Copies of this chain bind each other. A is one copy, B any other.
């Protein structure tokens, strides 16, 4: 099942050798570092962290979303998210309004200041993504997305597809 044996099994399966797969793993590791590097640099100057970025991103993405919904998307505990939301609300980047139908829920929106931060972070991250896309070309990008989608957990793919459908 290891290196040597598989190299003889024809070209169509070559890309599935352990070595090839492991290289994909490392590519994922190094690329994710680059992926977060630019926003991280910006956040550091503002006493916020990656968790704040994620919250701001998905609130921008789905305005009026509830805490619970955000929880499911981000995959963290509500206590962990709450700490982040608390500072964002205190700093006036996010507004939390009691639900009309269900008063237990809080609906989250970005304020103008919050939207400005979101844009700054997005732009930095998008620039890198865009330049990677340009260098790799459209077909590579299609493959990139296909593999990423196949790599997600079922439930997350659902979130991703839901989002995709809403805005495509």
Contact = CB atoms under 8 A, between A and B. Distances in A.
B129 A25 contact: yes
B141 A30 contact: no
State the copy count for this chain: 2
Nearest to A27: B148
A143 B16 CA distance: 15
27 contacts: A15-B138, A15-B142, A19-B167, A21-B129, A22-B61, A24-B141, A25-B35, A25-B126, A27-B144, A27-B145, A27-B160, A28-B31, A30-B148, A30-B156, A31-B148, A33-B152, A33-B156, A34-B151, A35-B151, A129-B151, A131-B150, A136-B146, A136-B150, A137-B146, A140-B142, A141-B143, A141-B147
